[in-house]
C-alpha cells in the first residue's frame, strides 16, 4: 500500500456551480503523496455527473456516494475512509492555493506537529484572487508554535476559529481519542476543533493565507432553527464536560469557557429575534426559551461583571438577556433601523 501523507476530505451537497473550481484546486496540489476523498451526500443537482467526469479523468479520486445524511455523517464517512498521516478538509464551495497542503505538511513534519493552522481569505465571486489587498484575510496574527493552553484560550475567545478546513490534523488525534463529528446541523466542527486542540501535543500556526472561504448569502430562515439552537448549546456542553473532567485545566479555562457560552447565548438570541422580526413568526418562542433558560438562570451577574475576559458590550448584552429585556430592546432597534433606511 502506497504511503499517504495527507488525506483531503471534501463533502459535497448541491454545489454544482462551485464544485469544479474546488476539485481543480485540490487535484492540482503540489504535494505528492495525497489522497482525495469526495463524499457526495445525496446531491439532487448535477454534482454526481460532475464527479463522474472527474473520476474518469482522474481515476485516483476516491468517490463515495451516500444518501443525504448531513455534514457530520459525511465528514465521518471521509474520516473512516482516510489513510493519510494527516487529515485535511475542504468545503466543496471553497477552494485552496495550489501549494496549501505541501506547505502545511512540511510545517507539520518539520517539528512533528499534531495540528497546523493557516490563515484564510474571505472570498466573494468576482474578486481578484491574486490581489491580497482586495481580499480580506482572517486568522491568527502569530507564526510559530502555540502553547496548548494558550490555543484553547484563543479558541474559546474565538481568536482561533472552530473551522476544520484551515487546519491540518494528525489522523491519530481522531483515532486515539475517538473524536468524530456530532450529529449537528450547525457548528458541528466547533466541539471537534476544541477536542483536537485539547488532545494535541504540538500546535503550529502559519500566518500565510492558503484557503479561500467563499462568502455566500444564505437565508436566515433556512439556516437557523430550533435544532440549530440546541446544537449550539450542546456544542458548549461538550467543551464544558471536557474542561470539568480535567482538573489541571479547569481553573485556567473556566472563565474563558463562560465567555464562549455567553457569546453563544447572545448569538442564539440575536439570530432568533432577527428571524422573528423578519418573518413575524413567534410560534417557536417557548422552545427557544426552554433551550436557553437553564443557562441564563445559572449565570450570576457578579460573575459577568467581574469577568475581565468579557468586553463591555458583551457584559451589556448578557445583562439584557439575563433581565429578559433583550427581545424588547432588539425589536425597537430593528424597527428604527428599518425606518431609517
- The burial of 200, by beta-carbon neighbours within 10 Å (0-12 exposed, 13-18 middle, 19 or more buried), is given as buried
Q: Does residue 85 or residue 291 have the better pLDDT?
A: 85
* Each residue's pLDDT tens digit, 154-170: 999 999 999 999 999 99
Higher pLDDT, 270 or 88: 88
pLDDT tens for 237-250 read 999 999 999 998 99
Q: Which residues of 251-273 are buried (b: 16+ CB within 10 A; e: fewer)?
A: eebebbbbbbbbbbbbebbebbb
The residue among 159, 192, 214 that closes a domain is 214
Q: Which residue has the higher pLDDT, 295 or 219?
A: 295
Task: Establish if 1 belongs to a structural domain.
Answer: no
Q: Are residues 241 and 198 in the same domain?
A: no
- DSSP codes, 110-154: HTT-SEEEEEEEEE-TT--TT-TTTSEEES-S--EEE-HHHHHHH
Give the residue numbers spanning the domain of 177: 6-214
What does the alpha-carbon distance between residue 46 and residue 13 come to, in Å, rounded to a whole number? 10
**One domain, residues 30 and 119:** yes
Indicate whether 264 pLDDT > 80.
Answer: yes
Check pLDDT > 90 for residue 209.
Answer: yes
Percent of the chain exceeding pLDDT 90 equals: 72
Does 121 share its domain with 198?
yes
Mean pLDDT on 172-185: 96
Domain match, 54 and 186 both: yes
Residue that finishes a domain, picked among 154, 183, 214: 214
- Boundary residue ending a domain (214, 234, 260): 214
Mean pLDDT (whole number) for 64-91: 97
Number of domains the chain contains: 2
Query: What's the angle, vertex CA 56, arms to CA 52 and CA 57, rounded to 5?
Result: 120
Whether residue 199 is contained in a domain is answered as: yes
pLDDT tens-digit readout, 270-329: 888 888 888 777 778 888 888 999 899 999 999 889 889 998 999 999 999 999 898 889
Nearest to 17, CA basis, from 39, 46, 37, 57: 46
At 128, is the pLDDT very low, low, confident or very high (cuts 50, 70, 90)?
Answer: low
Residues 159 and 280 in one domain: no
Q: Is the pTM of this model over 0.85?
A: yes
Residue 286's pLDDT is what? 87
- pLDDT tens for each residue of 89-121: 999 999 999 999 999 999 999 999 999 999 999
Amino acid at each position: 500500500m502506497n504511503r499517504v501523507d495527507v488525506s483531503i476530505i471534501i463533502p459535497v451537497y448541491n454545489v454544482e456551480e462551485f464544485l469544479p473550481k474546488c476539485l481543480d484546486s485540490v487535484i492540482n496540489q503540489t504535494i505528492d503523496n495525497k489522497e482525495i476523498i469526495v463524499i457526495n451526500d445525496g446531491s439532487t443537482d448535477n454534482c454526481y455527473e460532475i464527479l463522474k467526469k472527474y473520476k474518469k479523468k482522474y481515476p485516483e479520486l476516491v468517490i463515495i456516494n451516500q444518501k443525504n445524511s448531513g455534514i457530520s455523517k459525511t465528514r465521518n464517512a471521509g474520516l473512516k475512509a482516510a489513510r493519510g498521516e494527516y487529515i485535511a478538509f475542504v468545503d466543496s464551495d471553497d477552494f485552496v492555493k495550489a501549494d496549501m497542503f505541501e506547505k502545511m505538511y512540511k510545517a507539520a513534519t518539520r517539528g512533528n506537529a499534531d495540528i497546523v493552522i493557516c490563515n484564510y481569505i474571505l472570498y466573494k465571486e468576482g474578486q481578484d484572487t491574486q490581489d491580497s489587498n482586495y481580499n480580506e484575510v482572517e486568522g491568527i496574527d502569530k507564526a510559530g508554535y502555540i502553547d496548548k493552553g494558550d490555543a484553547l484560550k484563543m479558541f474559546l475567545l474565538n481568536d482561533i476559529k472552530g473551522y476544520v478546513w484551515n487546519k491540518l490534523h494528525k489522523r491519530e488525534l481522531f483515532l486515539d481519542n475517538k473524536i468524530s463529528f456530532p450529529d449537528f446541523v450547525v457548528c458541528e466542527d466547533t466541539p471537534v476543533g476544541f477536542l483536537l486542540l485539547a488532545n494535541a501535543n504540538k500546535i503550529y500556526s502559519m500566518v500565510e493565507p492558503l484557503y479561500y472561504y467563499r462568502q455566500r448569502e444564505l437565508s436566515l430562515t433556512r439556516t437557523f432553527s430550533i435544532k440549530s439552537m440546541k446544537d449550539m448549546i450542546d456544542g458548549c456542553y461538550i467543551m464544558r464536560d471536557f474542561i470539568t473532567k480535567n482538573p489541571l485545566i479547569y481553573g485556567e479555562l473556566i472563565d474563558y469557557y463562560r465567555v464562549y457560552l455567553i457569546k453563544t447565548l447572545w448569538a442564539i438570541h440575536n439570530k432568533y429575534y432577527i428571524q422573528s422580526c423578519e418573518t413575524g413568526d413567534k410560534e417557536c418562542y417557548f422552545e427557544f426559551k426552554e433551550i436557553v433558560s437553564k443557562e441564563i438562570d445559572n449565570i450570576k451577574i457578579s460573575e459577568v461583571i467581574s469577568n475581565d475576559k468579557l468586553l463591555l458590550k458583551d457584559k451589556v448584552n448578557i445583562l439584557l438577556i439575563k433581565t429578559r429585556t433583550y427581545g424588547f430592546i432588539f425589536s425597537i432597534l430593528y424597527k428604527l433601523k428599518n425606518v431609517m433606511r
